[in-house]
Structure 1
Amino acid sequence: MNICVFLSAADLSETYTAPAREFAELLGKRGHSLVWGGSDVGLMKVVADGVQEAGGRLVGVSVTFLSDKARTGCDEMIVAKDLAERKAELLARADAVVIMVGGTGTLDEATEILELKKHGLHTKPVVLLNTAGFYDGLKEQFQRMETEGFLPLPLDSLVFFADEPAAALAYLEQ
């Protein structure tokens, strides 16, 4: 399976890097490919290292203005002209999507993926990996959107919230 992971390129504490590394190792050991933003910094590097060390394949999709941070030694590296093209390419190459901790870029990617799914423009499973309760507030907001009629589909048909890496991968493999 080609699993797209949206996540931060920031250097983060073990609270976030340990679960990301665990997910990456599981992904690689199970023979899946990582499709990610292609950067070789921060949490993106942690995940790419873990997948590669566990025998998984790496498919990076960088963007022109970040190409100096792109990882070398990938199985495949694509350089998109802008962020919109990058998101489209990431989704096109993925069989499933996992959203890990991140900042505004990750949040932008997550909401776009969910909006596209809401409108039936893709049917790929989407998992939000809620490491250390990072997305508790977002989950609460999505639940409010569902309760108050802002979502035309049940929330659980749009996204699965997993608290642990193994639960995220188990959901995708079912």
Structure 2
Amino acid sequence: MKSVCIYCGSSPGNRPEYAAAARAMGKTLAERGLALVYGGGKVGLMGTVADAVLANGGTAIGIIPEALMQKEVGHRGLTELHVVRNMHERKQMMADRADAFIAMPGGVGTFEELFETFTWLQLGYHAKPVGLLNAEGFYDSMLGFMQHAVDEGFLKQVHNDLLHVAPTPEGILDKLANAPRLLVDKWQEKREQT
């Protein structure tokens, strides 16, 4: 694992603990020599995690659509900043450049990115690990709902188990680094046999 895509809010949220988690994530990525791949913004948790990576000597790669650059939310101090035509190109380039994915607290855009990447994993379009940094229990309700979907027969437990969860940057990075790839491979083999 050489790079990690972080999905997170363009807002800082209402609790200072979320910004603290973003700073800790950026610092931990840099200390472990892992490049940050993210949406390229200078605002909210996005900017906080990128600034922490850079402040600790790490590599920060941003990918942002032209429309958001025109609104002046792009972070111009990054190691690399790629300006693309639209959100689809942004998400594809982020996925291509990353070896793993982590969602931190955020809003509907963060949720959409997380679930798209998670769906691609479930369908076998990639075998890169996906995780949640569940800072301050932000994702507790969502995790409960996902288990409800399992209980109601709309999500298989084997797929739900592909989503790794930890409350700290060190914990989630350790889980992703040690994520068994066989779970995805076995599911793909089973799918091909049917």
Range into which the TM-score falls when normalised by the shorter chain: over 0.9
Runs of 4+ more than 4 Å apart: none
**Quick one: which of 170, 174, 180 aligns to 1:170?**
174
Q: Is the 8 A contact 1:96 1:126 kept in 2?
A: yes
What amino acid maps onto 2:126 in structure 1? H
The answer on 1:93 being equivalent to 2:94 is no
Q: Is the 8 A contact 1:28 1:57 kept in 2?
A: yes
Alignment of 1:58-73 (within 5 A): 58-67=60-69, 68-73=72-77
Q: Is the 8 A contact 1:142 1:155 kept in 2?
A: no
Task: Report the 3-state secondary structure (helix = DSSP H, G, I; strand = E; otherwise coil) of the residue aligned with 1:97.
Answer: strand
Residue equivalent to 1:107: 111
**Quick one: which of 16, 29, 32 aligns to 1:30?**
32
The answer on 1:16 being equivalent to 2:18 is yes
Task: Report the 3-state secondary structure (helix = DSSP H, G, I; strand = E; otherwise coil) of the residue aligned with 1:154.
Answer: helix
**Quick one: which of 131, 134, 143 aligns to 1:130?**
134
**Quick one: which of 34, 42, 45 aligns to 1:40?**
42
Q: Radius of gyration: which is bigger? A: 2
What amino acid maps onto 2:56 in structure 1? A
Residue equivalent to 1:118: 122
CA deviation after TM superposition for structure 1 residue 148, in Å: 2.4
Q: Distance in 2 between matches of 1:151 and 1:89?
A: 28
Q: Is the 8 A contact 1:118 1:152 kept in 2?
A: no
1:22-49 alpha-carbon deviations (Å, 9 max, x no partner): 1110110111100000001111111001
The answer on 1:5 being equivalent to 2:6 is yes
Q: Distance in 1 between matches of 2:147 and 2:68?
A: 35
Q: Is the 8 A contact 1:20 1:46 kept in 2?
A: yes
What amino acid maps onto 1:11 in structure 2? P
TM-score (norm 2): 0.85
Q: Is the 8 A contact 1:38 1:62 kept in 2?
A: yes
Q: Distance in 1 between matches of 2:159 and 2:17?
A: 27
CA deviation after TM superposition for structure 1 residue 11, in Å: 2.7
Residue equivalent to 2:189: none
What amino acid maps onto 1:70 in structure 2? G
TM-score (norm 1): 0.94
CA deviation after TM superposition for structure 1 residue 157, in Å: 3.9
Q: Which has the higher contact order (CA 8 A, sep 6+)?
A: 1
Gaps of 5+ in 1: none
Gaps of 5+ in 2: 179-194
Q: Distance in 2 between matches of 1:147 and 1:162?
A: 22
What amino acid maps onto 1:34 in structure 2? L
Q: Is the 8 A contact 2:146 2:160 kept in 1?
A: no
Q: Distance in 2 between matches of 1:11 and 1:160?
A: 23
CA deviation after TM superposition for structure 1 residue 147, in Å: 2.4
Aligned length: 174
CA deviation after TM superposition for structure 1 residue 153, in Å: 5.6
